[in-house]
Amino acid sequence: MTRPPQAQTLPATASMAPRTPPPPPWARRAGHVAWIAPLLGFIPLHIPWILGIPMFANAGPFDEWYHGRGPGVGDHPVDGVLGMPAGAFYLGLLCVLAALGGVLALGLISDWGVTFPRWVPWLHGRRVPPWLPLTPTVLGSALMIGYSATLPWQFAADLAESSPQDIFTPTGVLIGLPLFLAWTLALPLAGWSYYRRTRLPR
């Protein structure tokens, strides 16, 4: 009796390996919103402020805050952090975090968020541990949701008590608020879809 070649069983075995399904349309849309909001919304809005340009801000209070000499801050003998004005350092750090959040959100709906791409040394082709993107997604979503819950009261107070002594004008808040809320809603939706798609079958 002829022994069947072993190679014939390999395709069947490979076809039985679990594959991660693609994200559904609603999750793909949420993922795109979750990376567009920080990378094309949040960061461009903050770049003029990083450069010291008081766009949507009151020039005098903004300049004091930018150089770390705002109310309640005190006068620092050495202006700035790592050679940068204090405000620029703070805003730059926010933009770096926003950029990382945008890349994270894009990974939640991309193939390279499930399998390490070729340009990742030693890990390319291997499955991405789901906890790796889900941990910052959960933490970031929790922080943004918690902060968003306070925004109605903060925004109402800012409008009621708006004055030329404020650092930023209500116009800047009105522009940035929808971007932040869209990001806050979209990120956990994309994360939930990623969790559902990548969890191991029982």
Q: What pLDDT, on the 0 to 100 scale, is given for residue 16?
A: 40
C-alpha R_g of the chain: 23
Please write the tens of the pLDDT for every residue from 139-190: 999 999 999 999 888 878 877 788 888 888 888 878 888 899 999 999 999 9
pLDDT of 70 reads 61
pLDDT of residue 193: 97
**pLDDT at position 173, please?**
79
CA dihedral 54, 57, 61, 66 (to 10 degrees): -50
Helices marked H in 51-201: 59-66, 86-107, 131-160, 170-198
The reported pLDDT for the residue numbered 92 is 95
For position 15, what pLDDT does the model report? 40
Q: What's the confidence (pLDDT) of residue 71?
A: 54
CA angle 32, 33, 35 (to 5 degrees): 70
Mean pLDDT by 10 residues, the chain (202 residues): 49 51 96 96 94 94 86 53 86 95 96 93 93 97 94 80 85 85 96 92 55
Give the model's pLDDT for residue 5.
52
Q: Report how far residue 118's alpha carbon sits from residue 94's, in angstroms, rounded to the nearest whole number.
A: 30
Specify the long-range contacts of residues 1-5, CB closer than 8 Å, at least 24 apart.
Answer: none
Q: Are 45 and 176 in contact (CB under 8 A)?
A: yes
Q: What is the pLDDT of residue 112?
A: 95
Contacts of 48 (CB under 8 A, 6+ apart): 55
